[in-house]
Amino acid sequence: MSEELADSEVPSPTEYKRAFLELRPYHDNHLEMLRVHFQSPEHTITMSELAAAVGYQNHNAANLQYGTLADRLCNLLNKNAGHPTSRISVLVTFPKDGAQREEHMKLMMRPEVVHALTDLGWFARKPPRT
């Protein structure tokens, strides 16, 4: 499993909002990936599901692009986590329900990221399925 940011290292929603605004313009499908993840049930998705939703052939392409977005966020937020899975933890947390293959690992969007994106009003929330 990856090393995640310590609770004390997680930026505030205000810091995320500033960083998201400074990241403009967004590259490739980065904004679309954020939207799909944000609108996923409980803001949770696998890398395979994310890849399919934005039109990538496989989870590796989505992993590369989401990792690139996370790298850019880390730079703006002065989070210098070295390993790629540590950098993506600036956006997500990983469930503690056991090891899963990378493409099927659930990515839970950090509550601070959800809060920031909600405040920015960039994406409408999808209504829950009934």
Q: What is the pLDDT of residues 12-38, one digit of tens each?
A: 999 999 999 999 999 879 999 999 999
C-alpha–C-alpha distance, residues 24 and 80, integer Å? 20
Q: Which helix (H) or strand (E) segment is 109 a member of?
A: strand 106-109
Helix (H) / strand (E) containing 22: helix 13-22
pLDDT > 70? residue 83: no
Residue 8 predicted with pLDDT over 90: no
Per-residue pLDDT at 1 exceeds 70: no
Query: Closest Cα to residue 32, out of 123, 106, 128?
Result: 123
Domain assignments of the chain as residue spans, ordered by start: 7-117
Query: Global pTM?
Result: 0.87
CA angle, residues 39, 44, 50, in degrees to nearest 5: 75
